[in-house]
Structure 1
Amino acid sequence: MSIPRLITTMLAVGTTLAVTAALAGCAASNSATESPAVPLRLGYLTRITHAPALVAVADGLLGTELGPGVNVTAQPFNQGTDEVTALLSGQLDAAYVGPNPAFNAWQKSNGTAIKIISGAAAGGTSMVVQPSIASAQDLKGKTVADPALGGTLDVSLRDWLARAGLRTDIRGGGDVSIKPTSPESAIVQQFITKQIAGAIDSAPFDVQMVKAGGVRLWTDPNTITVLVVRQDFLAAHPGAVAGLLRAQVEANDRIAADPAKASQSANATLASVLGKGLDPEVLTASFQETTFTNDPGMASLRDQVGKAVSVGLLKPLDIDGLFDPGPLNKVLSELGRPQVAA
């Protein structure tokens, strides 16, 4: 799974996997009477908690659901914080991200940049520690890792330590030193070599640490991945957003109907992007610990906002209006599915 930092950075900013949705209508699109295809730049992370994106890419669902009028470019990223930077700078139109990066984008733009338009996954996240660690108190004076300062997992870890009476700070000080580490494969390696006492991470990385002899100290059932879109793109291209949502719903349907087959699709995308797929045992366990859902879970999101504020990584924030259920509920209604509450 480990790849050089340079390659990872190039993946995060470059287009490495294009899904062209105009194949069937390319001849017609050359006509002077045909409007040019709408470009849609979609970001996602190379982890199993982003499996709806991985499956949609591998199975061609984006091209199928978006049709010949939209050209999709699916871009893998290393961190959700990098995706937010790309969204705010206009380099992405939509992205699968963790809740806290979405909150940051909402706050930085005063509620004008993005909307959450769907959930994607919940759970799939664990605090894994060395076998000698039995409680949060055993981590005092030790170093633990997470993927990124200010990310969803960073917030969860700091909140958990604070509730145990342990102090942290953003510079790695306090009772427990938190070490943001990227790429996440480096967290696994540091855990194996015992450079860290533990780490919070999502599938497949938490599973890899457990397979290496680690112990799950606790798991986080909260929303871990949501699908966001730039508000200006949503306003200008509602049909493209509807197609993206249909692909999201179909991907989750395939995961629910045949997890084994869907996991192979997800692994095919990982292998294409990273040069190597996941170990079969890790792949299966990663899917089993993750709940894939189109509902972003507003109760969970509000809980996570409160945690981020309490640990000082977010200013007080009202997320009313961050989730726009309209586009998703229209798609669900067309499919005869229950609506999702805002």
Structure 2
Amino acid sequence: MLQHLSLFNNASEYPWLPLLNSSYRKSVVYSRTLSVWETIFTTMDYFIPTDFNRLPSPIPLLTILQLPLHMVINVTSDHWSHRHPTFLTSLMFVFDNQQNRLRLRVDGEHSRYPRLYRQLFDDILNRQTVTIQECVWDHILSAPSNQQYPETSQLPLIKSLRMQPKWINFHPRLFRQNFQEMSVVTHRFQRSVIRKFWHSKLHPQARTVYCRTIHKRIPTQTFISKYSPLVSSCCSLCGLADDTFRHFVIDCPRKWEVWLPIISQYFPNYNLSSEILYGALAYLHVPRNIREVQRFFTVIGITHWQLWNMYWHHGNTNTHVIAPQNIQNVTQRIKQLIDALLTHG
């Protein structure tokens, strides 16, 4: 892990740098689609929403000098240093070879912006309105050492993450297999069914959600909870069962409360069970007794799309189950959308 992290930008001396700041996550080993680093970085951002709010100590001197200045000083969000991410710490601090210490630059050592340097110098030493982070003081008060950076025990956040059961048993191959099970799916559809699906009356958004379901590209809570700490696998709509793929598509009882009136209104003479609807949504299976196939795709496609919107508007981490009034409102909206398409197209 550390060897891979050291290949990221400016991380050769301090491999933990990409975990702490998103601007240093550029590397040949980093693929946003196939690499586990995307999940690791997302987890770190969950715990550290503001990059470098507090730098862990110690940090190598060379790494500190390569960091933007606003990362090593404690200032408000409207400070000018935040607007200049290319203003490096090495422009304000210099390593004194005679004293073997890190110190602020003084008059005559500034190559540009002398007035700005003097103002920041006074803010740090005289006015004391700007403070320096502890990791910088380590090199101001003592000479650099040959210590390895950092020790795992000095990063309790990293240690606690590694103690998660999923990470203890983690293996890159298992992660990729799990990912491919969600994304790589082979289908054998009849051309006539595909043609009728694409010729059915559906909004582009509804067709997109339908295609995501066919290709199993749905971020269910069960999948997210495997690699994201503190995330429950329970469905946020009903709070009764784990949010698996099938539960997300059809088995959630709150969603079934929407499906029942839709089915009874548009297909009153058909016995469309949850198993039949799941096959139609996940595998494009059309019941044999359905004669108007395009109308069938329109009804279930619009319903599935609006249930998708209902789920994400409610929130996948919402601790309260969805209110009955919201279910009624969604049902009425679905009927309006379907009637508009079937009537006017």
TM-score normalised over the length of structure 2: 0.23
TM-score normalised over the length of structure 1: 0.23
Structure with bigger helix share is 2
Pair member with larger Rg = 2
Structure with bigger strand share is 1
Structure showing greater relative contact order (alpha-carbon pairs closer than 8 Å, 6 or more residues apart)? 1
